[in-house]
Amino acid sequence: MSALDLRALTMLIVDDNANMRGILSAILKSAGVRRILEAGDGVEGLKLFSEREVDIVFTDLMMQPVDGLSFVHWIRNSQASPNPYAPIIMMTGHATRRSLDEARMAGVTEFLAKPLNARGVLHRINEVINNPRDFVRTEAYFGPCRRRRIDHDFAGDERRGAQPTPTALGGEAEVQAFDPEDCY
């Protein structure tokens, strides 16, 4: 990954943990980000997002009174949202398949498991800047295309209705262990 010039970008950090905001802010500052906005909860985050031009949003999943999923849903779907296309990186210390799926369905661009490290943060920023995904609007979803991986071995017309891949022993392929770093 080549060095990104992040000086002109404005980042919004929404997390109810002041220490986590401080850690992420320090990582962003060390990467060259000069404009960092911080909010202690989803309500304050919505206010800042509405009032200021924000290039990338980092939000925690579990907050009160407005959690990260509701915050993302508002950005993506509210008529009052100034930028429903803003890249949103969701952070959580509770990374499970379910939380990943919920975040994806809410319209999150990237997912980042805590504890944070500079490499993971910069990788997610690089992805939203250098590998942006097209946005999709359906009756039930608005957000970046959720298809992350291209299966070059798939030979059919549509993957959604495809049968599970048989294994050499004749059974279905096993489900691999969930690792948030592999998925997002």
Pick the range with the lowest mean pLDDT from 15-24, 69-78, 82-91, 92-101.
92-101
List the one residue out of 72, 111, 109 whose CA is nearest residue 91: 111
Per-residue pLDDT tens digits for 21-42 = 999 999 999 999 999 999 999 9
Hey, where are the domains in the chain?
10-144
pLDDT digits (tens, 9 = 90+) for 2-18: 578 999 999 999 999 99
Cβ–Cβ < 8 Å for 70, 42: yes
The overall average pLDDT reported for the chain is 85
- Residue 28 token pair: 């962003």
Query: Pairing between strand 135-137 and 142-144?
Result: antiparallel
Alpha helices in 58-117 (DSSP H): 68-77, 97-106
pLDDT higher than threshold 80 for residue 168 = no
Q: 84: closest CA among 115, 58, 107?
A: 107
* Homologous superfamily of the 10-144 domain (CATH): Response regulator (3.40.50.2300)
Q: In the chain, helix, strand, coil percent, each to 5?
A: 35, 15, 50
Reported as a pLDDT band with limits 50, 70 and 90, residue 151 is: low
